[in-house]
Chain A
Amino acid sequence: MEYLIHIAILISIYSILGISLDLVLGFTGLLSVTHAAFYGLGAYATAILLTGYGVNFFVAIVLGMVVSGIIALVFGLVLNRFRDDFYALASIGFNTIVFSIFLNWQELTRGPLGIPGIKRPELFGYAFTSNISFLILSLVCAALVYFVSRYVTTSSFGRVLLAIREDEEAISVFGYNTVFYKLAIFVMSAMMASIAGSLFATYITYIDPSSFSIHESIFILAMIIVGGLANHRGAILGAVFVILLPEILRFVGFPTDIAAQMRQLTYGVLLIVFMLYRPKGLVGKYEL
């Protein structure tokens, strides 16, 4: 039972990451490979505020979102100059830079040692120490992200994003400031990823830079491509699929170090197979 709750918490955290990346990739057509950077910024902001300053979790989560949002604004301003391949490449660059800050700014992040002893969230004297209560908290967060995303994408704002994806020049001719729209959705997506980071840090109670490398960005990317782009349910389905699959492999009985590689192998193969035979993913509404 504890094990199932653990899986469910992971799925809800990754659903948040998937849904938020989908806003940028699926709905706006920007191949961002830097999502783990914002995920990490949220996690580190929360960890540092909780362990170093004793700030309440719910204040820290908001502060983390502010930090991620500001950084995303800066990155977004640069990224908006590029398209397609170069956009992807520059975003990989930003992920690497943020990752090396986590790794090397030792005074703040303790570098490769990571930050241990992060407390579970507390609200009005109630601590979310049991896993089941934490599951409820993360489900609430995931639901909030889901409904906000759905509201955004079904609004007129969302329709402009779709138009940017299909033909950016055409929509800018109609007088829409596409730079503003792309920037807004990028910042929004980064702030959502930061929520996932805050949850992750307080759930695991220990973070280190390796959780937020470029490989994590690729993992999130694989997840929503498998689930299907431009569909919130696709992102959730992808999270379920990509997290359950390696767990099943574990039951087959590989040794742990092989199992870790099997996870990588599985999602590499998934990416290739889906690109070759079903570029839309399981329930996607947009094909790259």
Chain B
Amino acid sequence: MGIVPQLIANSLIAGSIYALLALGFNLIYGTTRFFNLAHGAVAVLGGYAMFYLLKHTNMAVWVSAIIAVIVAGIVGYLLERFIYRPLRNRKASGLVLLIASLGAFTVIQAVIAMIFTSQFQTLSSAQSGLFHIGGAVITDVQLVIMASVLVIMVLLALVLKFTSFGKAVRAIGDDEEVSEIVGINTKKVIARVVFIGSAIAGLAGILIGYDVGLEPTMGLSLLLKGVIASIIGGIGNVYGGVIGGLILGFVENFGIWKISGEWKDAIAFGVLIIFLIWRPQGLFKR
């Protein structure tokens, strides 16, 4: 007793953030089939856009949040339009796209650090409300995090299952060329997917900004947590990513119960490598 309920709560919160990152990453990977490493930087960018809006305008929190999410989406779209699409048209290999996205990641991170300095920033100003649930203490922000993961997952599942856009997304994921032949405007669909995925990343960035704060250099570790969550759940599988995120959250938080907290990243990557060796397709196949 004592520490366990809090550990479970912490695992759920961390897991929800990873799940959110994995959702966006998986959506993009599912259609474009490449590791978009810029995804983490886009998430951080969303958080900083929110920070800027809160500091320099008088807009309500929810208006700022919507604008920041859209900004993240637009940046994702611009990357797709001016970097990834030309490369795909040239039939560049996945590695070329991966390296280009690594470049995009570095650029976004450097620009953020130049504008906002490398200082640690936090979005939450006042002491937030605390809830006591079954022996664990949870802040209101953390409740919002968990709720938004649920909402977005359900929304995404509905869109993918029942709309013609969702069907097109799944078709492109199976085979882009055939989809194009049967008359799907693949460029448009992929552009939208990247926009939506990046917007979800932006939301994750905002929530992280409220929960633990922002740093320009945190993008890589966010991205990698998202990727690890995706791989655990089955890469390209939207629901798998959520489960993977939660598993990662639990393993990390219960891992540091016994080992000291600095080893969090090493634990996460240990899990990744074990999964890559024993079950590279993840828990749920696409």
**In the complex, A268 has a CB within 8 A of chain B:** yes
Contact of A100 among B87, B95, B220, B263 (CB under 8 A): B263
A92–chain B nearest beta-carbon distance, Å = 7
Q: Hey, which chain A residues are within 8 Å of B104, CB to CB? A: 268, 272
Q: State which of A100, A214, A215, A272 has its C-beta within 8 Å of the C-beta of B107.
A: A272
Residue of A nearest to B83 (CB): A272
Which of B35, B86, B102, B111 is in CB contact (< 8 Å) with A218?
B102
B99–A268 touching, CB < 8 Å: no
Task: Please give, as numbers and ranges, the residues of chain A lying within 8 Å of B100 by CB-CB distance.
Answer: 271-272, 275-276
A85 touches B262 (CB 8 A): no
Query: Secondary structure of the A side of the interface?
Result: helix
Q: B276 touching A218 by the CB < 8 A rule?
A: no
Which of chain A's residues has its CB closest to B103's CB?
A: A271
B109 interface residue, CB < 8 Å from A?
Answer: yes
Contact present for B34 and A268 (CB under 8 Å): no
Taking A31-B95, A90-B276, A257-B117 as contacts, is the C-beta distance between A268 and B103 under 8 angstroms? yes
- Chain B facing A: main interface SS: helix
Interface size of B by CB at 8 A reads 43
B70 to chain A, nearest CB (A): 24
Contact of A85 among B95, B113, B260, B266 (CB under 8 A): B95
The reply to whether A86 and B109 contact each other, CB–CB distance below 8 Å, is no
User: Could you tell me which B residues sit within 8 Å of A by CB distance?
Assistant: 34-35, 83, 86-87, 92-100, 102-107, 109-111, 113-114, 117-118, 220, 224, 227, 231, 260, 262-263, 265-266, 269-270, 272-273, 276-277, 280
Other CB < 8 Å A-B pairs besides A100-B262, A264-B109, A272-B103, 13 of them? A31-B98, A78-B277, A85-B35, A89-B276, A96-B266, A97-B270, A101-B266, A103-B262, A272-B100, A275-B87, A275-B99, A276-B86, A279-B92
